[in-house]
C-alpha cells in the first residue's frame, strides 16, 4: 500500500503520525481531508491541515492540545476546533452528513461517517482523504475517483444538485479551475451554466456569496479567474453591467507581484475590487457596499477611487512636486494608492507614488509648536499651517536640518503675522 504522507516534509509527517497515534489511543478514526490531500497528490505545498474525526472532534482536540502542547480554539456551534501551534493551525471537525432544506440554505448538519463527509463536498478533487491511524497510515480514500480527475485536470461536481445545494461552488469551480490550470468538465460546465441562468446565487445571502468572491480576489493571480468569470457571465451577481478595464487590472496585478513581501500591509483583494469596479458610478459602489456588507475600509477605498483617479491626472504632470503628491495622496487608503500606482501607465507617476509610499509619507518635522512658543509665538491655527508648510519644504528637499526648520517656520509666521496683524506674544 502506498503511503501518500511520504510526499510531505518530515515535520508534518511526524506531526500527522502523532495525531493518528493519539486517535488510536482514543479508539477514533482520523483522516486528513480536502484541500491538503488534493495538494499532496498534485505536489503542491499547502500548510493548512484539515482533519476529520469519526467521533467528537472537540473532545479529541482538547485531548490533542494537552498531549501535543498546543492552544485550542473551540467553535461549539460548528462542532469544530482549531489547534494553534506557533507555526501552523490545524482544523479538526467531526465527520458529518448534511441535508439542505432548500437551495442555498445553510445545511442541517448531523454526525456521520467519513464517506458521508466526503460525499457532501464540492468537487471530486476535494473529496479525498488520507488515513492517519497506524493500521492504515497514509492510505488514500477516494470514493469519487478524485485522483483520476486530478490526473485528467478536471473539475467535476459529485452530483447534479451540487450548485443548487451550495451556489458558492459556482465561484469555487472557477477559482480551482484557474488556480490549478484545470478545466470544468463538460457536464459540470452545463450544470454551472444552468445554475447561473437560473440565478442560483440569489439563494445565498449576498455577504456569504461575496466572501467566496473575495477568495478569488485573494488568489495569487486573480485575473485568470476574474476573466473566466466575466467570459462565463459569472459576475452577474453584482447586478450591474461591469465593463472592467482589463489593462488597468493587468497593471495592478503586475505591480502587486512586484510589491509582494515588501512590507506593505494591505488586503490584496481589495485593490482588485477597486480596479474591477473602477468604471462604476458612485451610487452603484454605495449599493454594492451595502448589499455585500463590505467593511468600512473596503467601502471607503471603493468610494475614494473616483477622486483618486482625478488626483492621478495631477500626479502624472511633470510639474507635480513631491509635496504636491503628498497632499494629493495623503487622505487615501493604502489600497487606493496601490491601485493608482497599478493603474497609471506613466512611469514617472509610478515613481512619484512609490516615493510617497516608501519615503515622503513618513517624513516628520524635528521641531514642533513648543519651540515656536518658546520664541514668543502664540499657539494658533496659523502656527499649525506654518509647520505644515515647513513639512512640505522638507519633503521637497528645501530644508535640510533642524535649524533650517526653525528658521523657515519663524519666517513664515513673521510674514503671515505682518500681513494678518501681529500675533507675536508680548
Ligand atoms: N468545501 C465544500 N464546499 C464549499 C466549501 C468547502 O465542499 N462550499 C469543502 C471542500 O472539500 C474543500 C474543504 O471543504 O476542500 C475546505 O474548504 P476551503 O478551505 O475553502 O478549500 P480548500 O480546498 O482548502 O482550498 P484552499 O486551497 O483555497 O484553502
Q: How confident is the model at residue 47 (pLDDT cuts 50, 70, 90)?
A: confident
CB atoms within 10 A of CB 228: 17
What is the 155 CA–ligand 1 centroid distance (Å)?
A: 13
What is the 338 CA–ligand 1 centroid distance (Å)?
A: 30
CA distance 193 to 233: 9
Is the confidence at residue 258, as pLDDT, over 80? no
User: What pLDDT does 419 receive?
Assistant: 40
What is the 190 CA–ligand 1 centroid distance (Å)?
A: 22
Select the highest-mean-pLDDT range: 96-110, 191-205, 261-275, 403-417: 191-205
What is the 404 CA–ligand 1 centroid distance (Å)?
A: 60
Nearest CA to ligand 1 atom 26: 35
What is the 34 CA–ligand 1 centroid distance (Å)?
A: 6
Q: Which residues of 287-323 are buried (b: 16+ CB within 10 A; e: fewer)?
A: ebbeebebeeebbbbbbbbeebbebbeebbeeebebb
Nearest CA to ligand 1 atom 24: 35
Domain range summary for the chain, segments of one domain joined by +: 4-152, 162-302, 369-416
CB 96 within 8 A of CB 135: no
What is the 38 CA–ligand 1 centroid distance (Å)?
A: 10
The pTM score is 0.87
CATH class of this structure's domain 162-302: mainly alpha
User: What pLDDT does 154 receive?
Assistant: 98
Q: Which three cell numbers stand for residue 344?
A: 497609471
CB 365 within 8 A of CB 395: no
Is the confidence at residue 32, as pLDDT, over 90? yes
Ligand 1 and 48: CB distance under 6 A: yes
Q: How confident is the model at residue 245 (pLDDT cuts 50, 70, 90)?
A: confident
Q: Which atom of ligand 1 is nearest to the CA of 169?
A: 8
Q: Which atom of ligand 1 is nearest to the CA of 127?
A: 11
Ligand 1 and 160: CB distance under 6 A: no
Intra-chain end-to-end CA distance of the chain, in Å: 94
CA distance 144 to 138: 18
Q: What is the pLDDT of residues 317-375, one digit of tens each?
A: 999 999 999 999 999 999 999 999 988 989 999 999 999 999 999 999 999 999 999 98
Distances in whole angstroms, Cα of residue 306 to Cα of each of 282, 284, 338, 343: 8, 12, 14, 13
User: What pLDDT does 345 receive?
Assistant: 87
Domain 4-152 shares a fold with domain 162-302: no
Chain centroid to CA 388: 36
CA distance 372 to 375: 5
User: What pLDDT does 167 receive?
Assistant: 96
Nearest CA to ligand 1 atom 25: 35
CA distance 416 to 406: 15
Ligand 1 and 117: CB distance under 6 A: no
In sequence order, what are the residues at sequence separation of 6 or more whose Cβ sits closer than 8 angstroms to the Cβ of residue 171?
209, 212, 213, 215, 216, 229, 234
Q: Which three cell numbers stand for residue 74?
A: 473551540
Is the confidence at residue 51, as pLDDT, over 90? yes
User: What pLDDT does 233 receive?
Assistant: 95
CA distance 133 to 355: 56
**Mean pLDDT along residues 284-305:** 95
Ligand 1 and 121: CB distance under 6 A: yes
User: What pLDDT does 423 receive?
Assistant: 45
Q: HEC states along the chain?
A: CCCHHHHCCHHHHHHHHHHHHHHHHCCCEEEEECHHHHHHHCCCCCCCEEEEEECCHHHHHHHHHHHHCCEEEEEHHHCEEEEECCCCEEEEEECEEEECCCCCCCCEEEECCHHHHHHCCCEHHHCCEEECCHHHCCCEECCCCHHHHHHCCEECECCCCHHHHCCCHHHHHHHHHHHHCCEECHHHHHHHHHHHHCCHHHHCCHHHHHHHHHHHHCCCCCHHHHHHHHHCCCCHHHCCCCCCCHHHHHHHHHHHHHHCCCCCCCCHHHHHHHHHCCCCCHHHHHHHHHHCCCCHHHHHHHHHHHHHHHHHHHHCCCCCCHHHHHHHHCCCCHHHHHHHHHHCCCHHHHHHHHHHHHCHHHCCCCCCHHHHHHCCECCCHHHHHHHHHHHHHHHCCCCCCHHHHHHHHHHHHHHHHHHHCCCECC
Is the confidence at residue 99, as pLDDT, over 50? yes
Q: Which three cell numbers stand for residue 334?
A: 493604502
Chain centroid to CA 422: 55
| Chosen CATH of 4-152 out of 3.30.930.10, 3.30.413.10, 3.40.50.200, 3.30.460.10 | 3.30.460.10
Percent of the chain with pLDDT over 70: 95
Amino acid at each position: 500500500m502506498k503511503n501518500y504522507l511520504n510526499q510531505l516534509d518530515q515535520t508534518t509527517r511526524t506531526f500527522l503520525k502523532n495525531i493518528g497515534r493519539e486517535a488510536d489511543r482514543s479508539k477514533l478514526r482520523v483522516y486528513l481531508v480536502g484541500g491538503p490531500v488534493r495538494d499532496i497528490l498534485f505536489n503542491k505545498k499547502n500548510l493548512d491541515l484539515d482533519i476529520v474525526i469519526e467521533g467528537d472532534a472537540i473532545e479529541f482536540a482538547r485531548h490533542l492540545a494537552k498531549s501535543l502542547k498546543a492552544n485550542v480554539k473551540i467553535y461549539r456551534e460548528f462542532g469544530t476546533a482549531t489547534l494553534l501551534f506557533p507555526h501552523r493551525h490545524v482544523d479538526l471537525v467531526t465527520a458529518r452528513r448534511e441535508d439542505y432544506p432548500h437551495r442555498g440554505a445553510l445545511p442541517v448538519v448531523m454526525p456521520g461517517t467519513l464517506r458521508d463527509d466526503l460525499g457532501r463536498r464540492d468537487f471530486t478533487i476535494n473529496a479525498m482523504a488520507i488515513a492517519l491511524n497506524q493500521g492504515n497510515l497514509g492510505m488514500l480514500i477516494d470514493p469519487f475517483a478524485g485522483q483520476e480527475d486530478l490526473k485528467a485536470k478536471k473539475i467535476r461536481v459529485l452530483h447534479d444538485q451540487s450548485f443548487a445545494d451550495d451556489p458558492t461552488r459556482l465561484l469555487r469551480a472557477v477559482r480551482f479551475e484557474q488556480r490549478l490550470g484545470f478545466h470544468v468538465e463538460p457536464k459540470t460546465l452545463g450544470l454551472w451554466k444552468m445554475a447561473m441562468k437560473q440565478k442560483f446565487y440569489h439563494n445565498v445571502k449576498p455577504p456569504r456569496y461575496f466572501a467566496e468572491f473575495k477568495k478569488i480576489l485573494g488568489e495569487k493571480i486573480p485575473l485568470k479567474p476574474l476573466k473566466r468569470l466575466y467570459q462565463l457571465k459569472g459576475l452577474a451577481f453584482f447586478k450591474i453591467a461591469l465593463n472592467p478595464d482589463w489593462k488597468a487590472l493587468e497593471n495592478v496585478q503586475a505591480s502587486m507581484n512586484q510589491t509582494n513581501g515588501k512590507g506593505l500591509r494591505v488586503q490584496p483583494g481589495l485593490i482588485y475590487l477597486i480596479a474591477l469596479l473602477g468604471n462604476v458610478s458612485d451610487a452603484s459602489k454605495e449599493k454594492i457596499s451595502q448589499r455585500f456588507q463590505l467593511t468600512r475600509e473596503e467601502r471607503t477605498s471603493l468610494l475614494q477611487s473616483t477622486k483618486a483617479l482625478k488626483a492621478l491626472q495631477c500626479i502624472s504632470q511633470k510639474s507635480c512636486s513631491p509635496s504636491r503628491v503628498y497632499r494629493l495622496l495623503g487622505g487615501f487608503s493604502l489600497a487606493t494608492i496601490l491601485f493608482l500606482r497599478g493603474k497609471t501607465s506613466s512611469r514617472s507617476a509610478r515613481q512619484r507614488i512609490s516615493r510617497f509610499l516608501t519615503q515622503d509619507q513618513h517624513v516628520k518635522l524635528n521641531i514642533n509648536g513648543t519651540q515656536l512658543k518658546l520664541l514668543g509665538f502664540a499657539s494658533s491655527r496659523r502656527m499649525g499651517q506654518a509647520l505644515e508648510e515647513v513639512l512640505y519644504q522638507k519633503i521637497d528637499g528645501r530644508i535640510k536640518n533642524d535649524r533650517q526648520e526653525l528658521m523657515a517656520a519663524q519666517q513664515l509666521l513673521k510674514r503671515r503675522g505682518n500681513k494678518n496683524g501681529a500675533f507675536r506674544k508680548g
